[in-house]
Structure 1
Amino acid sequence: MSDSAEQRPAKRPRTNASNAVPSPGDPWLDDGNIILQAESTQFRVVRSILSASSSVFGDMFSFPQPENENLVYGCPVVHVSDTAEDLHHVLKALYCFVDNEPLPLVVIAAFLRLGRKYNIQQLYSEALKRLEFEFPSTFEEYDRSSGSFTLIDVQDVGHDASLFAVINLARENDILHILPAAFYIACTCLNGKEFIEAMESLEAPTHELSVFDQRVVIKGWHSIVEKQAKTTFRWLVREDIFAPICTTDDCTNGRKDILIFMWFPKPDCMGLTPWLSWWNANCCNACIRKSKGLHDSGRRKIWEELPLFFGLPGWEELTKKK
């Protein structure tokens, strides 16, 4: 071996997360009697509260502990395969959860994943309740919704990224009955080129739709725009239906103005849009009554078929799993 090789310094040994010195996480309770370790973070909690909240933890703790077990601060250490972030959100909620406050999506995702894995029904149900509130599966609930996030805090990541993350969560956790409303909102917010640009601007992988679901949204958009002309907005394109009650040019021109505003230079996805007051302008009362009735029945028709536009089973099949 050459002198230069002999003088070469020894390589530094590799380290990884599994060899890292554990650090205390939040919660770390002084009166805790068990430690959960996720990745390189440890959480000191009370065994009885975990057992009462989770049948899985309860069963786990019922087994006798090895006599030669290493203790940390006098507590046994249980290693779990979850991320430290997910475990942090779930444990914090078990000790100091505040109901009805908007929750970030990362918290809701943790509730779903760990709530299902450890059978923490309280947190799983809480996450599901919020998702079902934002993305209803009945026409009446959809009509009562505000159209913006209420029980989910989207300030950190924005509306569009949060919407895509919800779709991913629904796929991951098999909560398919919220997908029709989520896909429809994606269609109304993002049309054509804007949708592609929004996808390209996303940074976090959890907020990026799969290629499959990108196609689902784009195909759904085209299907709804085509269908709404024959249902919800039939009153805009079929003048013959007004012939028995009205033949004035004012009403005809008023409907043409609405048609041009909404569909040119490109149409919007508005199959579920409720009647807007400005559509009353330049139309007689008889035409307004007729148009409103057609519009409402068209919206209901779009809702009935909504899952089908996105390649999903019908509402009856989707809601069986609720």
Structure 2
Amino acid sequence: MSDAPNAEQSISITIDGTAYRKHNKHWYPDGNIIFTVENLAFRVFKSFLIRRSEVMALVLTVPQPNEPSEDNRTSHNQQSMIDGIPVVSLSDPARDFDLLLDMILPQTCASAPISSDTPWGKLLGLAQIAQKYGVDDVLAQTVVILDGILPTTDNQGAYTGPTDPICVIEWARRCSLPQYLPMAFYYLTTIQWGLHNIDLRTIQRLPPSDQVRIQQGRAKLQSEVIKAAVTRWENTCVGSWRPEKGCPSRDRSCWMGYEGKAWDADANEERWTNLLLHPLEELSKRVDDREIIPLSGVCSSCRQEFIEANRRMRRDLRAKVMYSNSDSDMEDCPRVIRVINWKDPRTPVIIGGTHYYKDLYHWYDDGNIILIVQDNAFRIFQSILIKRSQVLKDVLGLPPATATNEANGSVSDRQPILFEGAPVVRLNDKARHFQLLLNVLLPKDFDKLPISEDLRREDLMGLTQIAKKYEFDDVTARAVSVLQKVLPTKEQPDKPISTRNSSFNIRLWVQVINWARLCGLPQFLPLPFYHLATNEWKDANPESLSKAVSSGSVEDSYRPRNVAGFNLRGWGFPAWEGVPRQRMWDDTRRTNVERRN
């Protein structure tokens, strides 16, 4: 019975007499600021938000407004505090704020927080809150995805009823994204309202000027269609009207010259009605090879003329739709706001009497742990690490090391190094690789993905190695998937890896072998041995080659020779007469299979 209150206390918190539920992902025990949004409480890191958002920097650094007391003569600060941590109340939808934090504090890199599968209603909210707080890279990424979902040219896209385009119109104006307005108005202009059971108040959400625009747009659109299409031979809907010129080829079997119809008489009225009600969609069917309406009774020249004329009609009509349904006061609004550059010069710092440099990207002034990696000092947030890595959770949770006095054999606790109250931990890694890992855990922006083929091969291999070491499984999986496109695997024997000389190739293959063994990734082993076996050794520099192969094991130095029978006696390698060439493939497979210990 005693467990229930503890469990309840662990998921709820009371602030100023109001109960909130701790967010299941973005409540970090070492966070230094709390946001209350609707009935949720988020505990995050102030400096990280300030670095990502100029608006947040103003909100969190400007003093809170003072609230007059009852006698109207004195005032007191109304900002709430709980356990010494400031509490800020936001008026945003909790769903939008949650998704924004998912973007800037991702929980995994196995899958992106947003994609084309994300409901576009959630993307609208994310774009709005990202623009509100000036998180420009998140806004840009969201708009890119929305461009593939919402119609911006002549397709209906995600619209399934009048409520959808009305929501988009309201949102596009709030966010100054005018590119989504024309097709939203076009949908409302061409929709058959009688087919949708909706409340009249739905259309009344738009201002009166927009309601007038929709009604006038319908009449104007049909007028433009009639003007451009009524004289076309394929659009006759009564009788067997014959065009004056007839078929240019004088082909009397061509319907244009005989009956003046592109399809059966029963379909004439349907095609004409569809052209009046949904002109862009109907014209799209007439020019799209995948959906083109069969013209069984039309000669090739008339068929080509039919397609070109309807394509020209659609282009002109679309231009008029885009112009008439745009907001003139929003024409010059940029689609994406400027991207903020957060780069700072490296700053020296003395920690424990030793000179280091604050990392360019990952030194947060309110971080609660400092990690020393080579000459770089990273000041970050402990819960970010231990939430994703069991290894770091164990390492950072260990008690301080003990020191032994050699004179008397006594043992005493070694005092941990502190810097501005934050414990300092030294890691035996490469600073560049650790920085890449933090770029994944705490992404700077979305202009460049933290793990992509744009990274150097050495960086990808180093990131994989450090992620494997600290058991960031999702980071490892993502890095390996990218490396499989960069490094050759069993499925890619001809993948080019270098344009330099043979000595460089040999060193690289040996490096890949050592790295694959260290990371326990045997899928990358067979082809490096294969390439070493088939390399043009005679073109390699002997000194460079000796250094390259000597970095591997003695057994590995035999493997390329054993497969291909190359004579390396003159370069100081163990000599062997080789194997018959008909056994080359069998030996390659047998000698290159790794046995994991």
1:305 Cα deviation after fit: 0.9
Secondary structure, in 3 states, of the residue corresponding to 2:261?
helix
Paired residue secondary structure (1:271): helix
State the shift of 1:180 in Å: 0.9
Letter in 2 for 1:318: E
Q: 2:120 aligned with 1:131, yes or no?
A: no
Is the contact between residue 116 and residue 149 of structure 2 (CA under 8 Å) also seen in structure 1? no
**Partner residue of 1:289?**
304
Q: Residues 81 and 192 of structure 1: is their aligned pair in 2 closer, same or farther, counting only changes over 3 Å?
A: closer
RMSD: 3.9
Residue matched to 1:104 = 119
Q: Structure 1 residue 54: deviation in Å?
A: 0.8
Structure 1 unmatched runs, 5+: 1-17
8 Å contact kept, 1:232–1:296: no
Post-superposition shift, 1:201?
A: 8.3
Displacement of 1:198 after TM fit? 4.4
Q: Determine helix, strand or coil for the equivalent of 2:227.
A: coil
Q: What residue in structure 1 maps to residue 488 of structure 2?
A: none
Q: Tell me the residue number matched to 2:313.
A: 298
Percent identity, aligned pairs only, is 18
Residue 261 of structure 2 aligns with an amino acid whose one-letter code is: N
Higher alpha-carbon Rg? 2
How far, CA to CA, are the matches of 1:70 and 1:47 in structure 2? Answer: 16
Instruction: Give the distance between the partners of 1:30 and 1:206, measured in 2 at CA.
Output: 47
Aligned to 1:14: none
Partner residue, 2:182:
180
Aligned equivalent of 1:262, options 259, 271, 287: 271
Aligned partner of 2:98 in structure 1 is 88
Q: Deviations over 1:168-190 (max 9, x none)?
A: 211332322211122223445x2
State the 1:206 CA deviation: 11
Determine which of 212, 221, 243 is the counterpart of 1:224: 221
Shift of the 19–284 alpha-carbon distance from structure 1 to 2, 3 Å rule, reads farther
User: Counterparts of 2:245 and 2:217 in 1: how far apart (Å)?
Assistant: 28
- Tell me how far apart the structure 1 counterparts of residues 192 and 209 of structure 2 sit (CA, whole Å): 17
CA distance in 1, matches of 2:214, 2:93: 31
Contact 1:177 1:319 in 2 (8 A): no
SS of residue in 1 equivalent to 2:134: coil
What stretches of structure 1 move > 6 A for 4+ residues in a row?
A: 64-69
**Per the alignment, in what secondary structure is the counterpart of residue 22 of structure 1?**
strand
Cα distance between partner residues in 2 of 1:240 and 1:29: 79
Cross-structure match for 2:192:
191
Q: Secondary structure of the residue that 1:35 maps to in structure 2?
A: strand
Structure-1 separation of matches of 2:207 and 2:321: 20
Q: Distance in 1 between matches of 2:92 and 2:147?
A: 25
Note if 1:271 corresponds to 2:268.
no
Q: How does 1:40-59 map to 2 (within 5 A)?
A: 40-59=39-58
Distance 1:223 1:69 in 2: 56
CA 1:267–1:242 in 2, change beyond 3 Å: closer, same or farther? same
1:71 is aligned to 2:87: no
Call closer, same or farther: CA 1:43–1:64 in 2, change over 3 Å.
same
Q: Retained in 2: the 8 A contact 1:187–1:218?
A: yes
1:24 to 19, 22, 25: 22
Secondary structure of the structure 1 residue equivalent to 2:22: strand
In 1, the alpha carbon distance for the partners of 2:299 and 2:157 equals: 33
**8 A Cα contact 2:203 2:211, kept in partner:** no
Alpha-carbon distance, 1:24 to partner? 2.5
2: CA distance, partners of 1:298 / 1:241: 20
CA contact (8 A) 1:231 1:298 kept: yes
Give the aligned partner of residue 321 of structure 1. Answer: 334
8 Å contact from structure 1 (residues 115, 121) kept in 2: yes
Inter-partner Cα distance in structure 2 for 1:282 and 1:62: 75
What letter corresponds to residue 280 of structure 2 in structure 1?
G
Residue identity in the other structure for 1:119: G
CA contact (8 A) 2:81 2:87 kept: yes
TM-score for the superposition, normalised by structure 1: 0.71
**TM-score normalized with structure 2 length:** 0.41
Distance 2:40 2:327 in 1: 40
CA distance in 1, matches of 2:129, 2:204: 20
Q: Kindly state the Cα deviation for residue 191 of structure 1 after the two structures are TM-superposed.
A: 2.0
1:108-164 per-residue CA deviation (whole Å, 9 max, x = no partner) reads 232233222211112222332233334465xxxx37x6x533xxxx8xxx5553333
Cα separation, partners in 2 of 1:245 and 1:212, compared to 1, 3 Å: farther
Where is the strand percentage greater, Structure 1 or Structure 2?
2
* Aligned-partner Cα distance in 2 for 1:206–1:47: 42
Contact map agreement 1:233 1:295 (CA 8 A) in 2: no
Gaps of 5+ in 2: 1-15, 65-75, 107-111, 237-242, 336-597
Q: CA distance change for structure 1 residues 100 and 262 in 2, over 3 Å: closer, same or farther?
A: same
3-state DSSP class of the match of 2:43? strand
CA deviations over 1:216-262 (Å, ceiling 9, x no partner): 33432332222123336753348346454457473313357353222
Q: Which amino acid aligns with 1:230?
A: K
- Report deviation, 1:302: 0.7
